[in-house]
Structure 1
Amino acid sequence: MPEKVDNTLMIIVAAEFLMGMLGNTFIALVNCMDWVKNRKIASVDLILTNLAISRIGLLCILLLDCFILVFYPDVYTTGKQMKIIDFFWTLTNHLSVWFAACLSIFYFLKIANFFHPLFLWMKWRIDRVICWVLLGCMAFSVFISLPVTENLNDDFRFCVKAKWKTNSTLRCRANKVQYASIKIFLNLLTLFPFSVSLMSFSLLILSLWRHTRQIQLNATGCRDPSKAAHLGAMKAIISFLLLFIAYHLAFLVATSSYFMPETELAVILGELIALIYPSSHSFILILSNNKLRQASLRMLWKAKNILKRKF
């Protein structure tokens, strides 16, 4: 690629990275400081903290991958370094999606109004088992990442910069089926937590519809906190679903891009779009969480006062 294009894309990537780091670091710091202060942490704050940390890792891996591709492309011709990057990309990717699914389930169990025995049992148990659920997500993500990255994409990384060579082109074609099957399997695994989030969103809509209908029948004109909680949770979940779809498509473009003529450009554009998901969703979570929103307003107020003193 031309140097100007490289520099422009890297500036955009760096801006998205800084934006994502700001939002996710803010979530993690606020919750951790509150944890230290009160010596306990709420279940939703624990999920948000783990989600923010996993996305910080994902942002770092995506930035590192873009940086290596643009400035140190020779690294793509060796397998050991790229296996490490592929492992952590796979790990943080799965952790981020699974923790977001846990957040969707938590919102559903805490806010929805159903009287089914199974729902009531899960609602009562969720706070007690949330730590084990998060640990289970971590263990499963590591379990998936290790075997997949063992055989992942030495050929893909080699083809990114050397596919014009005859021997490497033949090598890529010979392993196309194996590479494609691994990637399809890897991406299909993230569809399960995505489906769980989609189901939680659908059930929240059903719960909101039933609750609204009940309010209309009772003809109460007072402010309804339950409806506000439903709408807040639904905004957080639907934003995750939409951003994840865009991220998933970009991830497919980036990882299957050696089928395309302009491989390097396709990888960077794919990762540039993929960065939108972990970067922007953190700010949606801040706005939808009362504690984080109040903390952000206090921080902005203090920053405004500091700037006034200086100028």
Structure 2
Amino acid sequence: MPGKVENTLILIAAGEFSLGILGNVFIGLVNFVDWIKHRKIASIDLILTSLAISRISLLCIILLDCFILVQYPDVYTAGKQMRIIDCFWTLTNHLSVWFATCLSIFYFLKIANFFHPLFLWMKLRIDNVIPKILLGCLALSVFFSLPVSGNWNDDFRFCVKAKLKTNLTLRCKINKAQYASTKIYLNLLTLVPFSVSLISFLLLILSLWRHTRRMQLNATGSRDPSIEAHVGAMKAVISFLLLFIAYYLAYLVATSSYFLPETELAVMVGEVTALICPSSHSLILILENSKLRKAFLRVLWKVKYVPTRSC
């Protein structure tokens, strides 16, 4: 039977899951309705919708893993079922990170002001290549998730679950080494999109600094649309970077805690923390996107005033 700590963590995870599902479903629905209405979809909306779908899947996988860990801990000894969950978690994790990186690159190319020929060439063609880039991110994520399904043996989780810490057999040692090497490889791969997003953020800061200097030289007013666009994009990107750091650390705890005592509790704490990123970042994107923000305010207005009118 799960204890009080496990039940509390499950409730927190369920609350974070509900918040994240509502936010990401809202993003997907608003963009889908706009797509149906206008018979076309903007590049930014396509990226946001793809990101929302990947995060809905990621949230479901994390909550499912947390629920199984508490209610059916013996599943961890079987290996096969948990290997499937690990595979889908890796897939949705990489999809979410890569799609968020695409969003950072899109903001940078659309808002930054540089006159380098390569930047101008990319700026003109970004709208046409966004669908291909998203498909490429999907292909990369599937490729990265293959080692999870192919290199892990069913015996490993049994060895860990059995807590064979002092007298491990040779087979368990080999499986543990394979597991550790695979996890290190997959975790290092997520640093690539993070680095790209970080570079985009730094270049946005440089672009904003140069634009502000030009405004000061020309004695232009402080209310400038370009500055507001820069600041809005930087908020979206920096929030992703900060939340990604928290998510990455939690992901390391959740996926590496099989080597630690109190494995189940460490995994749950890591998963509860990992739920923060896909849940809260969607709300930040809604507030920073004008179309989503207006749709959100309309929904709030209807929720507030419709019951009053019906009374």
In the superposition, the TM-score normalised over structure 1's length comes to: 0.95
Tell me the residue number matched to 2:113: 113
SS class of match (1:40):
coil
1:36 maps onto 2:36 in alignment? yes
SS for the counterpart of 2:220 is coil
Say if 1:144 and 1:222 are closer, same or farther in 2 by CA, change over 3 A: closer
Q: Which residue of 2 aligns with 1:23?
A: 23
The answer to whether the aligner puts 1:132 opposite 2:132 as a matched pair is: yes
d(CA) in 2 for partners of 1:72 and 1:297?
41
Deviating 4+ runs (over 3 angstroms): 152-157, 164-174
Distance 1:129 1:310 in 2: 48
* Match of residue 299 from structure 1: 299
Provide the residue aligned with 1:232 in structure 2: 232
Shift of 1:39: 0.5
Change (3 A) 1:31 1:262: same
Q: Which amino acid is the alignment partner of residue 148 of structure 1?
A: V
Q: Judge which range, 5-14 or 58-67, deviates more.
A: 5-14
Aligned partner of 1:285 in structure 2 is 285
CA distance in 2, matches of 1:160, 1:232: 46
Check if 1:103 corresponds to 2:133: no
Change beyond 3 A, Cα 1:168–1:278 = farther
Following superposition, the deviation at residue 179 of structure 1 comes to: 1.5
Moved more, 30-39 or 154-163: 154-163
* Pair 1:197–1:84, CA change in 2 (3 A): same
- Conserved? CA contact 2:79–2:156, under 8 Å: no
CA distance in 2, matches of 1:132, 1:302: 38
Structure 2 unaligned runs (5+)? none
Q: Give the unaligned 5+ runs of structure 1.
A: none
Q: Is the 8 A contact 1:162 1:168 kept in 2?
A: no
* Contact 1:57-1:92 within 8 A present in 2 as well: yes
| Deviation readout 1:265-311 (Å, 9 max, x if unpaired) | 00000000000010000000001100000000000000001232456
Match of 2:254 in 1: 254
Q: Counterparts of 2:166 and 2:206 in 1: how far apart (Å)?
A: 58
Instruction: Give CA deviations for 1:141-164 in whole Å, capped at 9, x if unaligned.
Output: 111112332113645533553325
C-alpha distance after superposition, 1:10-54 (max 9, x if no partner): 000100000000100000010011001111000000000000000
Deviation sequence 1:188-247 (CA, Å, 0-9, x none): 111101000000000000000000000001011252000000000000000000000010
Q: Once superposed, what is the RMSD of the aligned Cα atoms?
A: 1.8
Secondary structure of residue in 1 paired with 2:131? helix
Q: Single out whichever of 296-305 and 222-231 deviates more from structure 2.
A: 222-231
1:74-85 mapped onto 2 (5 Å cutoff): 74-85=74-85
Question: Which residue pairs with 1:205 in the alignment?
Answer: 205
Equivalents in 1 of 2:206, 2:145: separation in Å? 36
Cα distance in 2 for partners of 1:156, 1:26 equals 40
Contact 1:73 1:161 in 2 (8 A): no
SS at match of 1:73: coil
Alpha-carbon contact 2:101-2:193 (below 8 Å) kept = yes
Deviation of the 1:89 alpha carbon: 0.3
Cα separation, 1, equivalents of 2:172 and 2:206: 49
Q: Is the 8 A contact 2:43 2:127 kept in 1?
A: yes
1:76 and 1:160 in contact (8 A); partners too: no
Match in the other structure for 2:8: 8
Q: Are the aligned partners of 1:65 and 1:85 in contact in 2 as well (CA < 8 Å)?
A: yes
Query: 83-92 vs 234-243, which deviates more?
Result: 83-92
Alpha carbons of structure 1 residues 302 and 159: separation in structure 2 relative to 1, 3 Å = farther
SS of 1:261's equivalent in the other structure is coil
The superposition leaves residues 81-107 of structure 1 with CA deviations (integer Å, 9 ceiling, x where unpaired) of 112111110110000000000000000
Q: CA deviation at 1:168?
A: 6.8
- Map Cα deviations across residues 167-188 of structure 1 (whole Å, 9 max, x no partner): 7777544433222111010011
* Structure 1 residue 73 corresponds to structure 2 residue 73: yes
| 1-structure distance, mates of 2:84, 2:179 | 17
Q: Aligned pair in 2 of structure 1 residues 10, 310: CA closer, same or farther (>3 Å)?
A: farther
CA distance in 1 between counterparts of 2:310 and 2:173 reads 62
**Cα distance change of structure 1 residues 4 and 171 upon mapping to structure 2, 3 Å threshold:** farther
SS state at 2:152 partner: coil
TM-score by length of 2: 0.95
